Amino acid sequence: MSATPSWQAADGCVHTGPLLQSVNGFDVVACEACGFSHTLPLPTPQELEHIYSHEYYTQEKPLYIERYLEDKAWWDEVYAERYERLEAELPAGRRRLLDIGSGPGLFLAAGRERGWNVMGVEPSERASSYSREVLKLDVRSMFLNEETAPTLGQFDVVNLGEVLEHLPDPAGMLRLVHGLLAPGGMLVALVPNDFNPFQRVLNESMGVAPWWVAPPHHLNYFDTDTLPRLVQRCGFEVRHVETTFPIDLFLLMGHNYIGNDTLGRQAHAMRKTLEMNLRAGGETGRALKSRLHRAFAGLGLGREVLAFARKIDDSPSPA
């Protein structure tokens, strides 16, 4: 697309760039000012607070908690890998973790079982109540912002799992995280890998609608290049990048799960089986799985981008 829409934010910044998609009254542009793609216009913080406090888990993802629990055995393996990498990066005495957007709390529960001191922040009333009442976790029902961040303390790890794509100012969130981390602390950031090569083929050559473009819930669209660059700009050293399994591969094989929950669960079940069998395959299987996910990242493929980064100074440059 050749158009270049522009929009001026309240702070005076002009956001403009090549138009990638137009959906539901929003334009998605490859923003020259931000260095990553996002929607125009961006909603206000007040609009987002209403969506995520009351609507997200009841309207956008009504079965999210139930499905999360159905997949618990697989999630336990996924989270074990992330904790293993963190434990290799940090000394044994550094086990304080904050999970921002902690959802129902399984990541926190997995850390607690490994001896970590964990806390969560989750604006969804439904998800945070489950975490506190069922899993007995320390989860605060609030948004992380400049007012609430100083009340939480300091941490060795901050996890942002599928958070940055929802925010009007992801760089601002990373600056808050930088301040919450102790010297040398670790950031873990997971975002959807959007406009990736498989998706582009499906959309541009096969006429499949861009199902991954979902404003106003998804405002930002990252990939294997733009997420690490943003993290670096905000005062972190990127230590490791990989991607998750490219589930859109099933679409290219003719297994069209878009809008079909039954087919979607079947594709997800096959992905889970593959990964759990590799994890059960001893050192050889685990090493192969790790190499596959790094190789996916090298090709720009994978449904999500996962980055581990270390805080490197106390004065991140403006982003």
What confidence tens digit (pLDDT) does each residue in 18-41 have?
999 999 889 999 999 999 999 998
Kind plus residue range of the DSSP H or E element containing 11: none
pTM score, whole prediction: 0.92
Indicate whether 230 and 136 sit together in one domain.
yes
pLDDT surpassing 70 at residue 316: no
Question: Where does a domain end: 10, 26, 42?
Answer: 42
Indicate whether 74 and 94 sit together in one domain.
yes
Write out the residue range of the structural domain in which residue 15 sits. 1-42
Q: Is residue 9 part of a domain?
A: yes
Q: How confident is the model at residue 124 (pLDDT cuts 50, 70, 90)?
A: confident
Indicate whether 63 and 134 sit together in one domain.
yes
pLDDT of residue 10: 75
**Per-residue model confidence as pLDDT tens digits over 201-247:** 999 999 999 999 999 889 999 999 999 999 999 999 999 999 999 99
Indicate whether 256 and 134 sit together in one domain.
yes
Indicate whether 107 and 166 sit together in one domain.
yes
What mean pLDDT is predicted for residues 104-130? Answer: 95
Indicate whether 201 and 58 sit together in one domain.
yes
Q: Is residue 141 part of a domain?
A: yes
Q: How far is CA 317 from CA 35, 95, 150, 312, 314, in A?
A: 15, 27, 20, 11, 10
pLDDT surpassing 90 at residue 45: no
Q: Is residue 191 part of a domain?
A: yes
CB 54 within 8 A of CB 38: no
pLDDT of residue 159: 98
* Residue predicted with more confidence, 4 or 236: 236
pLDDT of residue 65: 80
Indicate whether 97 and 52 sit together in one domain.
yes
Q: Is residue 16 part of a domain?
A: yes
pLDDT of residue 108: 98
Q: Largest Cα–Cα distance in the chain?
A: 55
Indicate whether 103 and 209 sit together in one domain.
yes
Q: Is residue 316 part of a domain?
A: no
Q: d(Cα 184, Cα 9) in Å, to the nearest integer?
A: 33
Indicate whether 16 and 33 sit together in one domain.
yes
Number of independent structural domains in the chain = 2
Residue 237, Cβ density class (10 Å: 0-12 exposed, 13-18 middle, ≥19 buried): middle
Indicate whether 19 and 133 sit together in one domain.
no
